[in-house]
Amino acid sequence: MLPWAETLRRQVDEARTDVRSVLQVPAEPLRIAATHSLSLTFFSDWIKLIGGTFSFGPLELASESLAGCERLMGDGRAQFLLAHSHLATLVRLDPALFRSVFVGADSLVPVAAPGIAAAINLEGGDLSSHPFVTYSEDSGLGRILSQHLAMSRTIAGLEPVLTSHHAGVLKAMAMGGRGLAWLPRSLISAELDRGDLVPVSSPTRGAIALDIRLFRPTARLCGAAESFCAAATAAGNRGL
């Protein structure tokens, strides 16, 4: 979108917000785009913690890959984007048009089924004999993991036997003994507790720390959306 067109779109959106406020037009749903894994694991408890599901009016949740969420935000079809974030791998939104706030923490944990995990050494050596299931480029977690592996000199030889943008698919593959996977702890906490999945770690190669961030336009939003963002920011500051 051309810069002047983006400016015009924001001005029209702000004018529409002002008209609704004056005429007391019923509020439209808050539109939130969230990545698949966070839609399944984080979203429900997070909404409850920041004020209840309906405190800010009706919500519309679009569950997509990160690439899909970015398109929704860039096209103005979502007001917020909930995604994992890492300093080394930025979300592909123009920082002049979008900003984010911290709302939670997570981590990517290298795991495998029992028996397989014990045979994997991430500290060095050729890993080409170990099956590896990982994320496609559309996945935000895939971008983060690819960057991490590219910077990890001791991890070599990993060749994916399957790629998917859905962490749930990789979780099922890892539990079925089909390979090593880096999965969000929020998605596999129960499986780790039961021993269905076992962490594959070493003294220097373990989990990848992640932020969970809420992205929004820098332009002013409607009153309900601004209140929602303020509540999410306050909850994040309290460490929720």
More confident residue, 202 or 110: 110
Give the total number of structural domains in the chain: 2
- Orientation angle between helical segments 167-175 and 185-194, nearest 10 degrees: 20
pTM assigned to the model: 0.82
Residues of the domain holding 164 = 107-209
Place of tokens 């008209």: 19
- Give the pLDDT confidence score for residue 25 in this predicted structure: 46
125 with 32, same domain: the answer is no
Task: Give the chain as a 3 state SS string.
Answer: CCHHHHHHHHHHHHHHHHHHHHHCCCCCCEEEEEEHHHHHHCHHHHHHHCCCCCCCCCEEEEEECHHHHHHHHHCCCCCEEEEEEECCECCCCCCCCEEEEEEEEEEEEEEECCCCHHHCCCCCCECCCCCEEEECCCCHHHHHHHHHHHHCCCCECCCEEEEECCHHHHHHHHHCCCCEEEEEHHHHHHHHHHCCCEECCCCCCCCEEEEEEEEEECCCCCHHHHHHHHHHHHHHHCCC
216 with 159, same domain: the answer is no
Mean pLDDT of the residues in the chain:
84
Among 46-55, 135-144, 166-175, 220-229, the least confident range: 46-55
91 with 152, same domain: the answer is no
Rounded Cα distance between 95 and 217, Å, is: 9
131 with 97, same domain: the answer is no
- Cα distances from 130 to residues 46, 98, 179, 185, in angstroms, run 37, 40, 7, 22
15 with 98, same domain: the answer is yes
- Give the pLDDT confidence score for residue 65 in this predicted structure: 94
9 with 78, same domain: the answer is yes
Q: Is the pLDDT of residue 216 over 80?
A: yes
- Give the pLDDT confidence score for residue 38 in this predicted structure: 96
- Whichever domain contains 12, its CATH number is 3.40.190.10
Q: ∠ CA(128), CA(135), CA(121), 5° rounding?
A: 35
